Chain A
Amino acid sequence: MRTRLSSLALTVLLGILGLGTVFPFVWMIISAFKSNSEINAADQTFLPKTWTFENFLSIESKFDFLRLFGNSVFLAVTITAIVLYTSALAGFVIAKYQFRGRGMLMGFTVGTMMIPWAVTIIPRYTMFADAGLQDNYLSIIIPAAISGFGIFMMRQNMHAVPDEVLEAARIDGASEVRIFHRIVLPMSTNSIAALAIFQFLWVWDDYLWPYLMISDNANQVLAVGLTTFAGQYGTDYGGLFAASTISVLPVIIVYIIFQRRFVAGVASAAVK
């Protein structure tokens, strides 16, 4: 009886907190289907009185959000793929080979995670502007291609790949390149999934750097487009709800699909 009661109490408590946690998302999605007059009305209802797609259609005609969405997807997928590969490779080499300077390489790589963006963004801005890379996606891709966090996380993960497995493959005559691609990568899927979501989200969310580097509106990313839209149409709350929904929903869907793998990967990065 007592455990039943405490079970109920805990579940109710978690339920209330959970509702509070998802409320902003629910409210955002529902409000995106309200007309602006309803959003601004004095008496607020939770559900729209009349459901409308008007917000989604109007932001598209005003701002070409699909295009920005496509730009963000392209950059996020490209950078994530590069980071996953470079991080897994560097993590493998640093974890499994003995060589001079290994500790230093790892130390400095981890150290980069501590450096505030404010320190490097000004010189990087002048460097990339001087190199004529403004309005070029290379300026977004190059600084993100090697990730200190990614290397750190993948190196932690390499404890999950026992040396005996590698030795066995070596005895069978597999080259190191083959071992990395055929054994190490498939054994690292949890960490790769976790890093993939993190990295995807960072690119998706990056605001200041694309804002500084890309001036052509058609090539801009979604996060910057959102702030520009809010600046120009600040009173179009319906549009802002719709634009936020477009930006948030894909990430939530990907997360829910991969959440089990993802949670395992995130946890393993910190535990070992």
Chain B
Amino acid sequence: MTLSLRRSAPPAPAPTGSKRRAQEKRRVRTYPGERALRNVVIIIVAGSLLGLTAYPIGLAFVGSFHYWNPLVGAFDFVGLENYTTILSSADFWGAMLRTGGFSAIVIFFRVALGLAIAAAIFSKVTRGKTFFRTIFYMPTVTPLVAVAYVWQMMYNPQTGAINTFFGLDLNWLYDPQLALPSIMAMTIWKDFGYAVILFLAGLHAVPEDALEAASVDGAGAWQRFWRITFPLLAPMTVFVVITSIISYLQAFVQVLVLTKGGPGTSTQLISYLIYDKAFLKYDFGYASAAAFILLIVTALLTLISFRFATGRKSSLEG
């Protein structure tokens, strides 16, 4: 995924026909045992891709044109009906917009907090770097189902730690205005540590002499960060953003545990809507069609992020 992102030079042109043949000639002999290892890998990986990914996607695609309900054993062709129902459904558009807002806000805080905390830990004057790194990454490695229950109890209006600690009287998860922001806060807490670790790794890769040279030229710490460090962290930022987009479009467990989509539909994210249609209402056809739309949206957003990243990079270089 990041392969091409980190490379500063444009990828080498593909070898021409004659060159390639020469390369192959140089190594006609395969190593003893190579063929066997290769075949094992090709069989298990291609087998899994075909059987557990390609075939199910095909089935979902076909199913999305059917009235498909396993409870009554129905699999009846209905053409585009599922898609037209979805695209004219207020619930679907509401869930999509909510998911977009949820993802944008959580990703913003994940990147901003991750960058700020990584820079603070990386700073020469900070003590206890390993300690802080361990602490901030901790929520990321803990199971979501369990911590979601802990947060549910923290949000409890009577006995929860948040109201008690801040002396507030807010009904976090049962207030339609507050419920989605509450889930966002929990998700940010859970996930920002991943960005911290990645940005720390990125900071370690920033060449020190460039920063020193800028320092000699009279650039302040703030300028050095935004002019040198931040552009060099751009590929890492893109990586964090893309992986975040993919995972937040699928966010589901926190909604299931904290609010079950409520109050009303105020926290119904798209993946929860699909779960609800598929496994509570058993409308597999509708759910498959919605899932396909989600797949297309995910693919488009990932592609746009990549384009944005490569476009940005060439403008920096050019």
- Tell me how many residue pairs across A and B have CB atoms closer than 8 Å: 263
How many angstroms from the CA of A64 to the CA of B253 in the assembled complex? 23
Nearest CB of chain B from residue A21's CB, rounded to whole Å:
6
> In the complex, what residues of A have CB within 8 A of residue B284's CB?
122, 126
Given contact pairs A89-B37, A146-B44, A263-B137, A251 touches B142 in the complex (Cβ within 8 A): yes
Given contact pairs A7-B127, A204-B143, A119 touches B161 in the complex (Cβ within 8 A): no
In the complex, are the beta carbons of A267 and B200 less than 8 A apart?
Answer: yes
In the complex, are the beta carbons of A120 and B252 less than 8 A apart?
Answer: no
In the complex, are the beta carbons of A143 and B52 less than 8 A apart?
Answer: yes
Given contact pairs A118-B287, A241-B153, A267-B198, A227 touches B257 in the complex (Cβ within 8 A): yes
Nearest CB of chain A from residue B203's CB, rounded to whole Å:
10
How many angstroms from the CA of A197 to the CA of B117 in the assembled complex? 23
> In the complex, what residues of B have CB within 8 A of residue A101's CB?
42
Nearest CB of chain B from residue A94's CB, rounded to whole Å:
7
Please give me the residue from chain B that is nearest to A129 by CB atom.
B70
Nearest CB of chain A from residue B6's CB, rounded to whole Å:
7
Please give me the residue from chain B that is nearest to A96 by CB atom.
B34
B contact patch SS? helix
In the complex, are the beta carbons of B49 and A28 less than 8 A apart?
Answer: no
Name 12 extra pairs, CB < 8 A, besides A120-B57, A243-B149: A21-B136, A21-B138, A112-B53, A119-B294, A124-B56, A127-B59, A146-B52, A152-B1, A208-B253, A212-B279, A244-B149, A266-B194
B50-64 at interface with A (beta carbon < 8 Å):
52-53, 55-57, 59-60, 63
> In the complex, what residues of A have CB within 8 A of residue B151's CB?
24
In the complex, are the beta carbons of B63 and A123 less than 8 A apart?
Answer: yes
Q: Is B168 an interface residue (CB 8 A)?
A: no
> In the complex, what residues of A have CB within 8 A of residue B197's CB?
263, 266-267
In the complex, are the beta carbons of B56 and A123 less than 8 A apart?
Answer: yes
A214-272 at interface with B (beta carbon < 8 Å):
223, 226-227, 230, 237, 240-241, 243-244, 247-248, 251-252, 255-256, 259-260, 263, 266-268, 270-272
Q: Is A175 an interface residue (CB 8 A)?
A: yes
Please give me the residue from chain B that is nearest to A29 by CB atom.
B150
B193-236 at interface with A (beta carbon < 8 Å):
193-194, 197-198, 200-202, 204-205, 236
How many angstroms from the CA of A40 to the CA of B159 in the assembled complex? 6
Nearest CB of chain A from residue B302's CB, rounded to whole Å:
6
Among A112, A145, A241, A248, find the residue whose CB has the most chain B CB atoms closer than 10 A. Answer: A248
Nearest CB of chain B from residue A42's CB, rounded to whole Å:
8
Given contact pairs A10-B120, A119-B57, A113 touches B145 in the complex (Cβ within 8 A): no
Q: Is A57 an interface residue (CB 8 A)?
A: no
> In the complex, what residues of B have CB within 8 A of residue A89's CB?
37, 40-41
Contact of A23 among B53, B161, B193, B299 (CB under 8 A): B161
> In the complex, what residues of B have CB within 8 A of residue A177's CB?
33, 36-37
> In the complex, what residues of A have CB within 8 A of residue B194's CB?
266
In the complex, are the beta carbons of A86 and B38 less than 8 A apart?
Answer: no
Please give me the residue from chain B that is nearest to A229 by CB atom.
B149
A169-212 at interface with B (beta carbon < 8 Å):
170, 175-178, 180, 197, 201, 204-205, 207-208, 212
Nearest CB of chain A from residue B84's CB, rounded to whole Å:
20
Q: Can you pick out 23 interface pairs between chain A and chain B where the beta carbons lie within 8 Å of each other?
A: A11-B127, A11-B128, A13-B120, A21-B138, A25-B138, A97-B34, A101-B42, A105-B45, A108-B53, A119-B288, A120-B52, A143-B52, A145-B48, A177-B33, A180-B37, A205-B144, A208-B253, A240-B149, A240-B153, A244-B146, A244-B149, A248-B150, A252-B142
Nearest CB of chain A from residue B8's CB, rounded to whole Å:
13
Binary flags per residue of B140-168, CB closer than 8 Å to A gives 1, else 0:
01111111011101101011010010000
In the complex, are the beta carbons of B1 and A21 less than 8 A apart?
Answer: no
Q: Is A132 an interface residue (CB 8 A)?
A: no
Q: Is A66 an interface residue (CB 8 A)?
A: no
> In the complex, what residues of B have CB within 8 A of residue A105's CB?
42, 45-46
> In the complex, what residues of B have CB within 8 A of residue A120's CB?
52-53, 56-57, 60
Q: Is B174 an interface residue (CB 8 A)?
A: no
In the complex, are the beta carbons of A24 and B38 less than 8 A apart?
Answer: no
Nearest CB of chain A from residue B151's CB, rounded to whole Å:
7
Chain A to chain B: the 8 pairs with minimum beta-carbon distance, closest first: A267-B201, A176-B33, A7-B125, A123-B56, A123-B59, A146-B48, A247-B146, A118-B291
Q: Is B130 an interface residue (CB 8 A)?
A: yes
Q: Is A50 an interface residue (CB 8 A)?
A: no
Given contact pairs A101-B42, A109-B49, A120-B60, A14 touches B142 in the complex (Cβ within 8 A): no
